[in-house]
């Protein structure tokens, strides 16, 4: 579509966040900023600056800027989604994830850091690489070959190549049910959830991919296996770093990978906590609706995460691109953006105190425990 035709289709509509989406592109470079601050000052405490900004500054800005409840008019959504600008932003983010990991691994191997400084750097890098899964999440739902290849490369950064298969065909199918390993149950702490979600997701992804390959009369260990494609990229990237920088970097990468995985687990935990789809008389679950996900319209954190927090519309309409995801008035709403909610989740008693009453007060729950996900078989 030409620029003139696109402008004609968009009419008078202006996306006021059009250039603010660049924050999602620049955010993965946080380890590079931390390295620069340390190299300039020699102060290892400055390596933690991205952590303070993420868990302190972002929730504060979410509170100050409030929520954005605006939606693009439905008649211009096709033109908005056809605008290549938004798609290119996700493409540009992928090499920045790779640059951030390479720079951090090199600095960890070459700079004279104390153990505290080294741990600070690996934590910041894991935090940033968790965002690589979010970038892959946006592209992994799209059918274009560029999106698909770049999503596998993004997942190679934290060595989480099974995610797209598990998320698209496992989580989206079973979301908000007791059977879903990626939907947190009421009363389940994030730490107990992680022990169920991470290995469960890996197992489910391989079962799905094995079945997909079987339908094509191909063995599971075949180059068309999408999990293996991403894992091969990860081996080239992380194996290359070990060969170039020495075996101690392997320790850095392993810890970094686990920290990045836990970032995804944190997002999964807050997105569907306690929510349950109704089981129909034929034994199937009702179609996923917007009220089966916790939503957040907090402005700043959404601009850092390609609108991931508008999760209600994403699950109800997974093919929508991030720029056209909608706010709904009648869906479960989180009291803060994801970064604030992560902090709350890391202290389970506080999480339960805040979120359990909100869960039970939802209109479709109305205090009925049989309408929440507690990990029990739901009645037909």
* Rounded Cα distance, 267 and 26, in Å: 20
Task: Give the three-class secondary structure for 360.
Answer: helix
pLDDT at 11: 65
Contact 349, 191 (CB under 8 A): no
**In the chain, alpha helices (H):** 3-10, 22-26, 30-41, 49-52, 58-65, 77-82, 84-110, 115-140, 145-156, 163-166, 172-174, 190-215, 226-245, 248-272, 299-304, 311-316, 338-345, 348-360
Phi, psi of 226 (to 5 degrees): -65, -30
Contact (CB, 8 A) for 339 and 301: yes
Is the pLDDT score of 7 beyond 60?
no
- Predicted confidence at residue 177, as pLDDT, reads 96
Q: Which of 311, 314, 363 is nearest to 337 (CA)?
A: 311
Over the stretch 120-158, which tens digit does the pLDDT of each residue have? 999 999 999 999 999 999 999 998 999 999 999 999 999
Q: 268-289: string of b/e by CB count within 10 Å (b at 16+)?
A: bbbbbbbbbbebeeeeebeebb
Distance (Å, whole) CA 210 – CA 217: 10
pLDDT in tens, 275-313: 999 999 888 999 999 999 999 999 999 999 999 999 999
- Cβ contacts of residue 204 below 8 Å, gap of 6+? 166, 170, 181
CA pair distance 277, 273, nearest whole angstrom = 12
Beta bridge partners of 295: 333
pLDDT tens for 15-24 read: 999 999 999 9
SS3 285: strand
pTM equals 0.93
Length of the chain measured in residues: 380
So what's the pLDDT on residue 1? 47
**Percent of the chain scored above 70 by pLDDT?**
96
Predicted local distance difference test score (pLDDT) of residue 14: 85
The CA-to-CA distance between both ends of the chain, in Å, stands at 48
CA distances from 49 to 56, 57, 369 (A): 10, 10, 42
Q: What is the pLDDT of residues 82-120, one digit of tens each?
A: 999 999 999 999 999 999 999 999 999 999 999 999 999
How does the average pLDDT of the chain come out, rounded? 94
Higher pLDDT, 376 or 102: 102
CA 168 to chain centre: 13
Of the chain, the percentage scoring pLDDT greater than 90 comes to 93
Q: In whole angstroms, what is the distance from residue 53 CA to residue 42 CA?
A: 20
């Amino acid at each position: 579509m030409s620029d003139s035709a696109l402008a004609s289709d968009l009419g008078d509509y202006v996306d006021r966040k059009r250039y603010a989406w660049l924050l999602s592109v620049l955010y993965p470079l946080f380890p590079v900023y931390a390295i620069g601050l340390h190299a300039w000052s020699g102060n290892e405490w400055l390596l933690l600056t991205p952590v303070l900004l993420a868990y302190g500054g972002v929730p504060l800005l979410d509170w100050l800027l409030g929520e954005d409840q605006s939606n693009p008019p439905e008649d211009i959504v096709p033109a908005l989604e056809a605008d290549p600008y938004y798609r290119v932003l996700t493409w540009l983010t992928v090499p920045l994830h790779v640059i951030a990991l390479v720079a951090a691994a090199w600095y960890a191997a070459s700079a004279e850091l104390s153990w505290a400084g080294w741990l600070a750097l690996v934590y910041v890098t894991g935090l940033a690489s968790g965002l690589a899964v979010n970038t892959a999440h946006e592209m992994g739902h799209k059918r274009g070959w560029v999106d698909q290849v770049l999503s596998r490369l993004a997942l190679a950064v934290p060595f989480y190549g099974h995610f797209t298969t598990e998320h698209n065909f496992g989580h989206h199918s079973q979301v908000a049910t007791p059977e879903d390993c990626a939907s947190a149950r009421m009363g389940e702490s994030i730490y107990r959830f992680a022990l169920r979600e991470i290995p469960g997701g890996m197992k489910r992804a391989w079962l799905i991919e094995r079945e997909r390959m079987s339908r094509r009369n191909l063995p599971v260990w075949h180059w068309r296996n999408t999990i293996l494609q991403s894992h091969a990229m990860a081996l080239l990237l992380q194996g290359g770093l070990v060969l170039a920088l020495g075996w101690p970097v392997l320790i850095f990468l392993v810890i970094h990978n686990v920290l990045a995985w836990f970032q995804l687990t944190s997002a999964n935990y807050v997105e569907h906590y306690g929510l349950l789809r109704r089981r129909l008389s034929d034994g199937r679950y009702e179609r996923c609706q917007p009220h089966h996900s916790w939503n957040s319209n907090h402005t700043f954190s959404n601009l850092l995460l390609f609108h991931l927090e508008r999760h209600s519309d994403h699950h109800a309409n997974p093919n929508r691109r991030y720029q056209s995801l909608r706010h709904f008035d009648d869906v479960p709403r989180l009291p803060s953006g994801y970064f604030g909610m992560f902090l709350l989740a890391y202290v389970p008693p506080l999480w339960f105190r805040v979120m359990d009453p909100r869960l039970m007060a939802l209109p479709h729950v109305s205090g009925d425990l049989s309408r929440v996900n507690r990990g029990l078989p739901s009645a037909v």
